[in-house]
Amino acid sequence: MTSLSGESAATSRPTMKDVAALAGVGLKTVSRVVNGERNVSEAMRERVLHAASSLHYQLDERAAMLKRANSRTNTLGLLLSSVGNAFDSKVHAAVERVANEHGMVTFAASSDDEPATELSRINAFLQRRVDGLILTTSRDDHSHLAPERARGLPVVFVDRLPRGITADVVRSDNVGGAVTATRQLWDHGHRRIAFLGDLEPLPTMQERRDGFRQVAGGVTGCTELTDLRTEEQALRATLELLDGSEPPTALLAARNTICVGTIRALQQRGRQHDVALIGFDDLEMADLIVPGVSCVVQDTDRIGALAAQRFVARLAGWDDPATVTDLPTRLVRRGSGEIPA
C-alpha cells in the first residue's frame, strides 16, 4: 500500500497549530495575533507574523466568523445588470472603494436583467452569509427579501426602486435627464423625435420614457421603440426608422448600449451629420466620434459611493427610515445633440 503522508504534508494548508509550533508560542497567542486582538507585545506579534508568513498561513474566515460575537463575514453582495457595462463597472468601482475603506470584501455578479438569474445570484450571496446586499434589480417583486430585512440584513438598491419591501435607494433623476435631453432636441427644431428604450418592465426605462413624453408626448411624428436589449437590436431598429417614409430627424437613445447601436446605424446610412442624437449614459471616446456624441451623464461614482455608505451605515446600526436619493444628471453637449432639424 502506498503511503500518502508525504503528499498530504506537502499539500495540506498550514494551521494555527503549525504557526504556534514554528513561533514557539501557545495557540491562544497565535489566535490573538491573527484576529487583531490586543494584549500581545509587539515583539511577540512580529514573531507570530513572521512564522505565519514563512508558512504562507491564511486565516480561515469561516472559522473566525463563528467566533465573532456579531457573526459578520465582512463581505457584501453586489448585483449589477452587467459587470461589462460601463455604467455598472463604474458603480462597482465606487462601491468597492468604500467597502475597502471599511475592511470589507465585495462579491459582484451580473443578472443580465433576467429576473430568474437575479434571484439565483441573490440566493448565492445569502448562502455565503454576506453582511448585506447592494442591488440593481430587474424583478418586479422583492418580497422574497422581506424575511432577511426583518432579520436586519442591510439592503440598498441602486438605479431602480424595489417593490414589495422598503429599503434605501440611490438613483439618478431619470425623468429630469430625459426631459432635458428631449427639450434640447425640441429647441433645435426637431418635431420627429424617436425614443429608443430598454426593456419595458425596467423602472429606469419607464422613467426616461416619461421624461420624453413630458416634452414630445402626443406629437405627431414622435415615436417610441422599447425592449431593445442589445446593440444589434438597436442597430436594426434604427435602420428601419431611417429607411421609413418619414424618418426621424432626432434620436434619444435611453441607454449606452442602445446609443452605440444608433451610432452604427447612422454611420451605415451616412446620416450622422444631419440626424441629431442624444444618448443616456456617457460613452467611452464619445468626444472622439465625429460629430461628438451628446449624452445625459450620470454621476456613477457618487451613486456607487453613496450606496456603499448607506450600506455601511445600516450595518453599523443606523435605523432612520429608508430614503430614496435622486442624484441630478447633466447634459454634455458635444455636437450630435445640437444638429438642427
176-195 pLDDT per residue, tens: 999 999 999 999 999 999 99
Please tell me whether the overall predicted TM-score, pTM, comes out greater than 0.95 for this model.
no
**Can you give the pLDDT at residue 27?**
84
**Which of 280, 283, 219 is CA-nearest to residue 248?**
219
**Can you give the pLDDT at residue 84?**
83
Region 288-311: mean pLDDT is 96
Region 72-89: mean pLDDT is 90
Could you report the per-residue pLDDT of 311-335, keeping only the tens digit for each? Answer: 999 999 998 999 999 999 999 999 9
Least confident stretch, 22-31, 114-123, 293-302: 22-31
Region 246-274: mean pLDDT is 96
Which residue's C-alpha cell is 445569502?
126
Which residue's C-alpha cell is 431611417?
242
Q: What is the dihedral of CA 69, 71, 75, 78, to 10 degrees?
A: -130
Is the confidence at residue 69, as pLDDT, over 50?
Answer: no
Which residue's C-alpha cell is 435627464?
177
**Can you give the pLDDT at residue 299?**
95
Least confident stretch, 18-32, 76-90, 242-256, 273-287: 18-32
**Can you give the pLDDT at residue 4?**
36
Q: What percent of the chain has pLDDT over 90?
A: 64
Region 224-239: mean pLDDT is 95
Gap between the Cα atoms of 176 and 298, Å rounded: 11
Q: What percent of the chain has pLDDT over 70?
A: 91
Least confident stretch, 26-35, 129-138, 236-245: 26-35
* β partners of residue 224: 195
User: Domains in the chain and their CATH numbers?
Assistant: 16-67 (1.10.260.40), 75-172+300-326 (3.40.50.2300), 174-298 (3.40.50.2300)
Could you report the per-residue pLDDT of 37-59, keeping only the tens digit for each? Answer: 767 888 888 888 888 888 877 66
Is the confidence at residue 103, as pLDDT, over 80?
Answer: yes
Gap between the Cα atoms of 178 and 296, Å rounded: 8
